[in-house]
Amino acid sequence: MIDNMVNKNSGGLPIIDVVGLNKSFKVGKNDVEVLKGIDIEIMPGEFVLLFGHSGCGKSTFLDTIIGLEKPTGGDISIRGRNLYDMDEDARAKVRQDRFGMVHQQANWIKSLNVVENVAYPLMIAGYKRRDAIKRAEHELELFGLAEYCKYTPTELSGGQQQKVSICRAIVNNPWIIVADEPTGNLDTVSAEEVMNIFKNINEQAKRTIIMVSHNPDYEHYATKLVYMKDGLIEKIVTRKNVSVDESQYPSDLLEMAGGSLI
């Protein structure tokens, strides 16, 4: 049902390769440079935590990685394919298949209930409604959210909403999960729970995670810490080298060891 992420020929190659990334915005008559030449390689299975003060360009960086913000200069390749050589719809297709996204504030399609929202990325990809709903239900069950299937998303608590949006981010079995301050609006208990889910997804399913955070307490979750300042990468700390033998990874991240994500 979900295509295989295993790409045996990619051993040793970065999953995301950023070279000389520049981005400037027009503010009034002036060009404001937000990203000033970023180079970074992210390997499959890494958990990257991105630190930096507000306005240092973290979010813009994430937006360019997922293909929403066309850079002024430089290249971004996802498994060797240059993202901005594609047209808008092709990039949408990459987001659809390869990326899962979690935002600080969960976004919902308001006319759909929880399970339909989780199933939505599968619907975009063209799955049958029944199959998509079934998979979404199964996933919500793994997350212990089965009873909320028919709820309107906004009826749930912040922590629950964030868990549901993680469900939605991984329902299409993506390569990479991009999270922009996913715990920013949560209390410490819920935040801890959410971070553990990310950890499990990273460690058991070996999915690559790129997360923006302000909280230095989360350092221990990451394999790589990236500090940004004024549109540049100030320093990169590799906490743990990740083996990239992808043939050992579960092809469907919902079927990972134990079947429990919490």
Told to check if 69 binds another protein by CB under 8 A, we report yes
**Residue (of 99, 89, 129) closest to 112 by Cα position:** 129
Amino acid at 73: G
Told to check if 110 binds another protein by CB under 8 A, we report yes
**Residue (of 252, 250, 214) closest to 104 by Cα position:** 214
Told to check if 163 binds another protein by CB under 8 A, we report no
Told to check if 111 binds another protein by CB under 8 A, we report yes
Number of neighbours of residue 156 by Cβ within 10 angstroms: 18
d(CA 26, CA 234): 25
d(CA 29, CA 78): 34
- Strands 16-27 and 30-42, how do they pair? antiparallel
Among 37, 79, 84, 93, which residue interacts with another protein (rule: CB under 8 A)?
Answer: 93
Residue (71 or 221) nearer to another protein, CB:
71
Residue (89 or 258) nearer to another protein, CB:
89
Among 19, 92, 149, 242, which residue interacts with another protein (rule: CB under 8 A)?
Answer: 92
d(CA 131, CA 146): 16
For residue 29, give both structure tokens. 């008559």
Return the bridge partners of 226, or none: 50, 236
The nearest distance, CB 48 to another protein, in angstroms, is: 20
Q: Which stretch binds another protein (CB under 8 A): 35-43, 90-98, 185-193, 224-232?
A: 90-98
Q: Which stretch binds another protein (CB under 8 A): 115-123, 137-145, 204-212, 220-228?
A: 115-123
The residue behind tokens 């901005």 is 84
Q: Which stretch binds another protein (CB under 8 A): 60-68, 134-142, 181-189, 241-249?
A: 60-68
The nearest distance, CB 19 to another protein, in angstroms, is: 22
What does the binding site for another protein look like in residue numbers (CB under 8 A)?
A: 63, 66, 68-69, 88-89, 92-97, 99, 101, 107-112, 120-121, 123-126, 128-129
